[in-house]
Structure 1
Amino acid sequence: MSTIITSNPSFGFETTAEEAAAALSSYIQGKTILVTGVTPGGLGAHFVTVVAAHKPKLLILAGRKPSILEQVAKELESAHPDVKTRTLELDLASQASVRKAAEQVLSWPEPIDVLVNNAAIMACPYSKTVDGLEIQFGTNHIGHFLFTNLIMSKLLQSKEPRIVNVSSGGHRFSDIRWDDIDFKDGQVYDKWRAYGQAKTANILFSLALAEKLGSKGLKAFSLHPGAIQTNLGRHINQQDIEALTALNKEVGNKVDPTTFRFKNLTQGTATHMVAAFDPALDQHNGVYLQDCQLAPEDETKPYAVDKKSAERLWKLSEEIVGQKFVY
């Protein structure tokens, strides 16, 4: 059972993005919101589609493919002619692309009120980013770490800046592999452990942001959207499911197949809404959410919410990108 920390005690597993957005409508209105990963059929695209109905000032759509970004922008403008959109080409697997995108954001006049680091890849075959990092860690964490810090001045110009890092219950597959981030150059690669490491990093990153920047008014949260069948799972076959079952058993994760439930897309995006807009969360900076509330303790690995690990990961991430971010 999740601990109730949001403004609506009735929010939970079944809550839809539409219901959450309606309840938080006044906090969406007038905001400039930047979202990474807005592929149609995915969580990011659904999030911006629902948000658009509540009069945000500007929706900035960030992703790798300009053609997809334009498609989503056109659909939003057609459904909500009053809502302004802007697209931003951003390839999280390339630090050069991240730096170029950040420069563009810094050249724009508006502060960023809400940054939703939603883009992710999951359980893919071993490969590396252009900078030589294991692809899941490099894309899901390092790309977002660098982008977020490079545009931090824009966030801090907002009256109520908020950062949401979309993590996963998959963080339970692995802690950060401090001595072997890249699985011995792929020789001992396990796609689920690699996903787990990256998702643990997302939670620790939110914790570090809250610790370092909470005094400047910044709020940062991470979340597990739930198990949702989207294009994120395109690399997964039956053998991978069996490997996942074995891994859960090995690391002691309790998963009961008789009670396991998938969410639909809109239930899967509800926790995004709460993390991005609910003012009740201001008292709980840095927390990890699930089903629109604080994630249950027995489904949150202690290593993912450890402040010392959050600081250690921050330093490691700075080394990887070759730049220090001191606040």
Structure 2
Amino acid sequence: MSTTHYNAQTTADEVARDCQSSIAHKTILITGVSPGGLGAEFAKVIAAYSPSLIILATRDIRKAQETETEIKRIASPSVATRVLELDLSSQAQIRSAAKEVLAYEEHIDVLVNNAGVMAPPFMLFDDGVESQFAINHVGHFLFTNLIMSKLVAPGRTGRVVNVSSNGHQLGPVRFHDWNFDEGRNYDTWLAYGQAKTANMLFSVSLAEKLGDRGLVSVSVHPGTINTNLMRGDWDESFKSLVQWFKTLGYFRAGSSEFAWKSIAQGVATHVFAAFHDSVSSSENNGLYLQDCTVLKPEEVRSWARDPIEAEQLWRLTEDIVGERFDY
């Protein structure tokens, strides 16, 4: 399948049509599937191309059921779906959800770690982890590793897509102060940047540790999209984000605008990362995708692709969840 015709305006359905043979008969698990969000849109798009099963994982079962209804109404009444309760803010509940997944009969072909929060006020969850780091990274790290036997098995391959953002440019993982001194050093956008960088480093580690066992993992930037991800005063928060991009040198006078996408355009890179044949090549494993394109290393900030920082994050996160995952 050629990728030369894909660009920032490519829609998810365009990519899905090209990838329909790769979608067919696959079992896909998606986190973060509330109506109106990227995960729900991704599920609806791929449902039209005969997957074996779509597993909708979310904290709010009612919202997942709404998405389930939409899938059957819009895409295909016959597509098999399943709802999984998954609360990424609670390590105890994540472990419970993972046990449920391990009891499934199906092998999971694709895991899309899509759930996330963006720039909320400072909050510590019960496990003592800042909310953005907890939901965007730590929760997905724990869940993915706990169900790894469903993704990696003799004679089977699996793919993990970690949904990141160009927000990773806001900063690296703060290894010496990842919890922002319990809020005293907290900045909403620096915390978001740390979490999105962590998503990318997680894919780097998965590719390095499990690539030779058939696992492919990449991270993606969907684009700047108006979804329900943001909470609170969007106008003021967005002004703050623009100011950070100016301060860090990404924007200069006359260039301080983000290129907005529709939700259909944003989800295109989800579909590409999850199913396109080119992504499964060994040279692309662990890399970062944008606009249905694998970016070159020089196009990505070093702190979000460095294997040493990836390993350091892996060990830090193991300490946070209290469990070792040695592959």
Q: TM class by shorter-chain length?
A: over 0.9
Cα separation, 1, equivalents of 2:106 and 2:266: 29
* 2:50 match: 55
CA distance, structure 2, for counterparts of residue 231 and residue 237 of structure 1? 11
Q: Offset of 1:72 from its aligned partner?
A: 1.3
2:173 maps to which of 168, 173, 176: 176
Q: How does 1:1-327 map to 2 (within 5 A)?
A: 7-79=2-74, 80-157=76-153, 159-254=156-251, 257=255, 260-283=258-281, 284-295=284-295, 299-327=299-327
Task: Classify 1:301/1:320 alpha carbon distance in 2 versus 1 (closer, same or farther; 3 Å).
Answer: same
Check whether the contact 1:127–1:135 (CA below 8 A) recurs between aligned residues: yes
Q: In 2 relative to 1, CA 183–259 (structure 1 residues): closer, same or farther, beyond 3 Å? A: closer
Which one-letter code corresponds to 1:151 in the other structure? I
Distance 1:139 1:128 in 2: 11
- Corresponding residue SS for 2:84: strand
Root-mean-square deviation over aligned CA pairs: 1.5
Q: CA deviation at 1:267?
A: 0.1
Matched-pair contact (CA < 8 Å) for 1:7–1:279: no
Residues 36-82 of structure 1 show CA distances to partners (whole Å, capped at 9, x for unaligned) of 00011110000000000000000000001111111211222334122
Q: Is the 8 A contact 2:112 2:161 kept in 1?
A: yes
In structure 2, what is the Cα distance between the partners aligned to 1:265 and 1:300? Answer: 23
Task: Mark the runs of 5 or more structure 1 residues left unpaired by the alignment.
Answer: 1-5
SS in 1 for 2:224: coil
Aligned-pair identity (%)? 49
Shift of 1:315: 0.5
> What SS does the corresponding residue of 2:199 show, helix, strand or coil?
helix
Q: Which amino acid aligns with 1:320?
A: I
Q: Distance in 2 between matches of 1:150 and 1:315?
A: 16
Counterpart code for 2:239: E
Contact 2:224 2:258 in 1 (8 A): no
* 1:138-187 C-alpha deviation (Å, 9 max, x unpaired): 11000000000000000113722000000000001110011001111001
Stretch deviating more after TM superposition (276-285 or 315-324)? 276-285
Q: Over residues 208-245 of structure 1, what are the superposed CA-to-partner deviations in whole Å (9 max), with x where a residue is unaligned?
A: 00000000010000000000001112334333223222
TM-score (norm 2): 0.95
d(CA) in 2 for partners of 1:298 and 1:250? 21
Deviations 1:287-314 (A, max 9, x none): 1000000236565211100011101100
Structure 1 residues 15-35: Cα deviation after superposition (integer angstroms, max 9, x where no partner): 000000000000000000000
Contact 2:242–2:256 under 8 Å retained in 1: no
Q: In the alignment, residue 221 of structure 1 is paired with which amino acid?
A: V
Count how many residue pairs are aligned between Structure 1 and Structure 2. 322
User: 1:163 aligns to what SS in structure 2?
Assistant: strand
Distance in structure 2 (CA, Å) of the matches to 1:249 and 1:78: 44
**Letter aligned with residue 157 of structure 2:** E
User: Aligned partners of 1:45, 1:238: CA distance in 2, in Å?
Assistant: 25
Supply the AA of the counterpart residue of 1:59: I
Preserved contact between residue 246 and residue 256 of structure 2 (Cα < 8 Å): no
Deviation string 1:113-145 (CA, Å, 9 cap, x unpaired) is: 000000000000110122110000011000000
Q: Once the 2 structures are TM-superposed, how far is the Cα of residue 282 of structure 1 from its aligned partner?
A: 1.7
The letter of the residue matching 1:149 is N
1:3 maps to which residue?
none
CA distance in 1 between partners of 2:225 and 2:174 (Å)? 27
Q: Which amino acid aligns with 2:273?
A: A
Relative to structure 2, which stretch is displaced further, 269-278 or 244-253? Answer: 244-253
For the 8 Å contact 1:129–1:139, the answer to whether it is kept is no
Decide whether the 8 Å contact of 1:169 with 1:299 is kept in 2.
no
- Listed as ranges, the gaps of 5+ residues in structure 2 are none
Q: Is the 8 A contact 2:119 2:191 kept in 1?
A: yes
